[in-house]
Amino acid sequence: MSDALISARDVTKVYHMGAETVHALRGVTLDISRGEYVSIMGPSGSGKSTFFNMIGGLDTPSAGEVFVEGFKLADLNGRQLAWFRCHKIGFIFQSFNLITTLTALENVAIARIFSGVTPAQARTDAAAVLDRVGLGHRLHHLPSQVSGGQQQRIAIARALVNEPAIILADEPTGNLDLHTGEEIIGLLNGMKQDLGITVITATHDMKMISASDKVVWIRDGRIDRVAGKGEVKITVGSIDGDTVA
């Protein structure tokens, strides 16, 4: 097996809906190294989210294998998966998914508490991370009391607080305007640069590309193309046409 942080081997996912079968992934093989910033692009329904769910230990492949840090995720039981998600993965969602009844500080602190630290320590750590993403002055606000961009910052703080190896961001800028989206991408990129976290985003968003070390195009559940940092810019014109959903 390769030395990659994440290694997907011929991953297939089939959904059965009554008589109909949907092939969400048709054999995806991909290695991602530690500290890489990878953008996964592709039209709607191409299988991006499905692939993310496999890496994050949220779903299991119909066939094929996913390894993270050398562990085969399909071998883990429920409590091990909970540990894995808590300590190794930071999830960021398109619609932020904050707990609406908890304040910014509590939203971040609860993720920290799950990792096993005391509630008091968790609040201290949460406040520090929120400060880092520029929300030190919004600790006691509810999600509904801050802007969309600020909500996504809270979500980023929550994803960061347990110092994960991997950030999985499924369309993190999908609900944000251009400018706010750029700020969020900047934050993600900073995490990669400063903390060495592996950042993987799924997106339709062309702004993502310039920040990426690697761009992977998925189409109909297959990897269509993989481009390194150097190759990306040249092809931007054609990408645009390809990714219109």
Partner 1 sequence: MAARKSTRLQSIPEQGQIPWHVAAVVSWAGLRRRLLRALITMSGVILAIAFLTYMLGTESITAALVAVNDNALNVLLQKAGVDIFSAGQTDDMMVMLIGLSLLTCLVGITNSMLMSVAERVREIGTLKCLGARDSFIVQTYLIESSLQGIIGAVFGAVLGCVVALVVAFANYRGYALANLPVLALLRSILWGFLVGAGLSIVAAIAPAYMAARKQPVDALRVEE
Which of residues 7, 39, 49, 150 is near ligand ATP by CB under 6 A? 49
63 pairs with which residues across the strands? 12
Tell me the two tokens of residue 152.
């996504």
- Contact call for residue 44 and ligand ATP (CB under 6 A): yes
Q: Which is nearer to ligand ATP, 7 or 50 (CB)?
A: 50
Task: Give the CB-side neighbour count of residue 184, counting CA atoms within 13 A.
Answer: 33
- Contact call for residue 95 and ligand ATP (CB under 6 A): no
- Contact call for residue 63 and partner 1 (CB under 8 A): no
Which of residues 28, 47, 66, 205 is near ligand ATP by CB under 6 A? 47
- Contact call for residue 33 and partner 1 (CB under 8 A): yes
Which of residues 12, 23, 27, 35 is near partner 1 by CB under 8 A? 35
Tell me the two tokens of residue 58.
């949220």
**Residue of 154, 163, 172 lying closest to 208 (CA atoms):** 172
Judged by CB under 6 A, the stretch of 16-24, 99-107, 137-145, 208-216 that binds ligand ATP is 16-24
Task: Identify each DSSP E strand in the chain by its residue range.
Answer: 6-17, 20-32, 37-41, 63-68, 71-72, 89-92, 166-170, 198-203, 214-219, 222-228
**Residue of 197, 201, 124 lying closest to 164 (CA atoms):** 197
- In the window 97-116, what residues touch partner 1 (CB under 8 A)? 97-102, 106, 110-111, 113-116
Interface pattern 175-204 for partner 1 (x via CB under 8 A): ---------------------x--------
Which of residues 1, 2, 10, 22 is near ligand ATP by CB under 6 A? 22
Q: What is the DSSP string of 44-89?
A: TTSSHHHHHHHHTTSS--SEEEEEETTEEGGG--HHHHHHHHHHHE
CA 219-93-229 angle, to 5 degrees, is 50
Least distance in angstroms from the C-beta of 45 to Mg ion: 8
Q: How many residues at the interface with partner 1, by CB under 8 A? A: 43
| CB-CB neighbours of 144 under 10 Å | 9
**Which is it for the CA torsion 240, 23, 79, 76, positive or negative?**
negative
Which of residues 50, 107, 152, 212 is near ligand ATP by CB under 6 A? 50
Q: Which residues bind to partner 1, rule: CB under 8 A?
A: 33-35, 53, 56, 58-59, 69-71, 76-80, 82-87, 89, 91, 93, 95, 97-102, 106, 110-111, 113-116, 119, 158, 162, 165, 196
* Interface ranges with Mg ion (CB under 5 A): 49
